[in-house]
Structure 1
């Protein structure tokens, strides 16, 4: 029987077909960063005061200054309270001026926001301030929880129903709930919609890259895996530009849904993975696809090659059981998921703090995207020049060290803190690209999607915990940095346990994967 690497060498490892499919599957990754717009671009503690228009019933001609002076208590520094107001009374204005108001209460009729950087954010629309301020971290956590569940659901889904369906369904979910998120009238419906968006996001990020790389030959596999990340970096830059000009989060959601609707149309024409079809014993379908791909790539496909493609004995399906039973695969599995978890918690801890580094938030976000571009371009070259093991160890160790160096810089030095945070995020993102390639090369076809899915779940667990870890800064500002910086260093050191897989065919069986030591 012909192995799939031999088939690809015959029909073209990276011909016109692969280029078109790679672009089609990478393009949505340029849109996915927009899903974070509502939780990234906010002012967590905007200038505000309680709405006290009740007093205008007593005297509609009051000036703004006098209205605030009569209805709001003052803080110790002399400024008006941002979370308290005087209890409304049914007095005439002369009695209020003469006796003044003394009894205070929390804001009863929402807030009035001033000097805001944005026209509208989830903080100002849903009043996530004062005793509701922690709900902002809840919103971030719910989105990350949805991404984790998406990986959990669509990993096994792809094994049973195919890579194609597992990439199509999440896009449909995203386009529906991205639009409904922008129309949500209250915070709880917003959370539900964002959770569903996260499910679609996680499902597509996991399966889009698998579908793309399973059609690409060994010589260009790194390009296929890193290409999806490269488009994501471009999306980060476009996101900063979009929010700079569109400072209303609801409009940003609807603008995000529009290109996703285009993806929904064309993604139904993306073909299934022939490698998956062969693994499932659907040989005739695989042969038809291989013949079409050869025609598109203008490569002849011989009858002798097609005759070699026979129904193979399907390897025992055990999913995670195979990973756990094999001591070699188990070692690889736990090492790679720890690395993925660590880099993701680092990435999102820094990302969710984009507005707290001291520099302009739009500039910082654009810098994040601009630094990711060379990370993924360099990744494609270095994976071939240095190999997988050296690349992942060096990126994790350097990234963790840069994050810990933030603690040595005075917090008032915004430029230095931003530079170190951006550099740490750069290396964490670089390591993420390597993990995308590495996890596919370590495990056999029968459990590759399961391993990738579980690895993505571990990485999304890191993203899920990032907002909660950032909340520990209320006890000491250095706690989050110490935790995620140390985790990244430890996981980088443990990657010495992984084998080198550069320029080797994807293993099709457990024996082939175990032999790669």
Structure 2
């Protein structure tokens, strides 16, 4: 449309766009670090009850080894390991005289004096605040509180971004992230930690939606898929960097603080970024838009073309768009028209399902029983080929069929784990690898697809609706772990069925491949209501082909 022509005039994918695309690596890397940070700051070390006081050495019979001594105080579980949440109410030295485990029915009690943790695992919030046994659900609740912050931030920062600009939201959210991230690192107790993590989740959403939208609105139509794929690879790189940081920084407070303070990089370079000219034009701030367009033209080597741009020229190009834009967009605008309501509901279900199942697989890596650092790295590496395939598929087959295919593939991988025996950890992990990889590829498509589906005047709110939905899903995912402790089959069934529902909804979305970004709700309504669902489109495509072949056969028979 009008703004696409302006971008082409000032150089298209020029030096400025390349530099801005390179700078987006910092928000995407750091956002991923915060999302998966609790995999390392909340690791659960091996632990058992602190034994009943036996410090008086005269109470210990001679010749007793330290390895046998624990059996006197702590009962063994079915795997012949010390129980994590039970101890004998008093020492039972007679156990040492029995071969194997004792069959006596001895009195036990809870961990009245606290726990003893494996010292090979450095500090975590679990060992510092005893989030084990009856309090183990608090670990999942802490992650859900962080996701709730993202959910709230998606609403607040989305509205602010469409009203006050992308750049202003990026800067304010970055300042908030630095402050509350360092606050979480210094939290004196678990409630304070959860409060700071809630605010961190809010700030994280503001940073990611503002930075991605700012970049995409300066990117020409033909290069949006490439830029989006690059951003998604930066998310994967963030997981690799987090694994490396967590390996070398074992103290959870130092790890939390290190990740948070690096947001200073975003704050420093954000002052030099120009506000989105697309947003400025659609909000009738033509003088500032012309100034930014001329600056970009200068960086792209199109100084002469930039000089020709005036408020009158820009207004002429986009007069229809600016006339239809609402002054103060609000969240309810997403449901203003039937076509826009359909887009919002379908894309929101896709985001919800991807977030629900993705974080359901990614936030409980300790269950496989392998080294947490190695498993995190393996799950991250698996994202690389799936994101590449997703990028290629988006360009060749389109956004819609790519999203539907990846959701169905992820669903199959997750549901198969339901029938895999619990002792086959390696096979379960491989299936989860493919499932998480498919969902990672789906995320890379959803980020681009959502921005293409919504018009400029409510694009940030539409993007925030998607982020809101995925954070709602990721908020519920840790709670499924709590229910899954009572019914293990519930986890894979819940995480596997949601992508199927999302795939059905995504088939009703509009294809946007090689289509220009729309600026108004009216334009979106025309394009949305004029396209058929995916399955019907495929049916008609092949039906027409078969009719053509049949007609050709009839003609040959007549001749």
SS in 2 for 1:112: strand
Task: Tell me the distance in 1 between the aligned counterparts of 2:77 and 2:56.
Answer: 29
For residues 272-287 of structure 1, the aligned pairs below 5 Å read 272-287=275-290
- 8 Å contact kept, 1:55–1:67: no
- 8 Å contact kept, 2:36–2:239: no
Task: Give the drift of 1:505.
Answer: 0.9
SS in 1 for 2:394: helix
2:477 pairs with 1:472: no
2:341 pairs with 1:330: yes
1:284-305 per-residue CA deviation (whole Å, 9 max, x = no partner) reads 0000000000000111325554
Task: Tell me the distance in 2 between the aligned counterparts of 1:60 and 1:301.
Answer: 91
Task: Give the drift of 1:514.
Answer: 1.7
Query: Which structure: larger Rg?
Result: 2
* Structure 1 counterpart of 2:420, from 409, 427, 443: 409
2:305 pairs with 1:301: yes
* Structure 1 counterpart of 2:323, from 272, 291, 313: 313
Quickly say closer, same or farther: Cα 1:416–1:85, change in 2 above 3 A.
closer
SS in 2 for 1:41: helix
Quickly say closer, same or farther: Cα 1:173–1:57, change in 2 above 3 A.
farther
* Structure 2 counterpart of 1:178, from 178, 181, 184: 181
Aligned to 2:396: 385
Task: Give the drift of 1:226.
Answer: 2.9
2:219 pairs with 1:242: no
- 8 Å contact kept, 1:9–1:217: yes
Which runs of no fewer than 5 residues in structure 1 stay unpaired?
Answer: 90-101
- 8 Å contact kept, 2:174–2:203: yes
Aligned residues: 503
* Structure 2 counterpart of 1:233, from 215, 231, 236: 236
2:384 pairs with 1:373: yes
SS in 2 for 1:269: coil
* Structure 1 counterpart of 2:115, from 93, 111, 116: 111
* Structure 2 counterpart of 1:400, from 399, 411, 432: 411
Aligned to 2:256: 253
For residues 260-279 of structure 1, the aligned pairs below 5 Å read 260-279=263-282
- 8 Å contact kept, 2:41–2:252: no
Task: Tell me the distance in 2 between the aligned counterparts of 1:392 and 1:106.
Answer: 49
* Structure 2 counterpart of 1:133, from 119, 136, 148: 136
Quickly say closer, same or farther: Cα 1:84–1:156, change in 2 above 3 A.
same
Task: Tell me the distance in 1 between the aligned counterparts of 2:89 and 2:486.
Answer: 33
- Normalised by the length of structure 1, the TM-score is 0.90
Aligned to 1:154: 157
Task: Tell me the distance in 1 between the aligned counterparts of 2:40 and 2:187.
Answer: 18
Task: Tell me the distance in 2 between the aligned counterparts of 1:76 and 1:488.
Answer: 37
1:69-122 per-residue CA deviation (whole Å, 9 max, x = no partner) reads 698353476765533456799xxxxxxxxxxxx986543443221264x21111
SS in 2 for 1:135: helix
Quickly say closer, same or farther: Cα 1:74–1:500, change in 2 above 3 A.
closer
1:442-492 per-residue CA deviation (whole Å, 9 max, x = no partner) reads 121111111111111011100100101222212221212111211101211
Task: Give the drift of 1:365.
Answer: 1.0
Task: Give the drift of 1:19.
Answer: 1.4
Aligned to 1:4: 3
Deviates further, 42-51 or 12-21: 42-51
SS in 1 for 2:290: helix
Task: Tell me the distance in 2 between the aligned counterparts of 1:156 and 1:275.
Answer: 17
Quickly say closer, same or farther: Cα 1:187–1:446, change in 2 above 3 A.
same
Aligned to 1:461: 472
Deviates further, 11-20 or 334-343: 11-20
Aligned to 2:14: 15
Deviates further, 221-230 or 4-13: 221-230
Task: Tell me the distance in 1 between the aligned counterparts of 2:350 and 2:411.
Answer: 11
Task: Tell me the distance in 1 between the aligned counterparts of 2:77 and 2:512.
Answer: 64
- 8 Å contact kept, 1:72–1:80: no
Which runs of no fewer than 5 residues in structure 2 stay unpaired?
Answer: 92-105, 532-559
Quickly say closer, same or farther: Cα 1:76–1:450, change in 2 above 3 A.
closer
- Normalised by the length of structure 2, the TM-score is 0.83
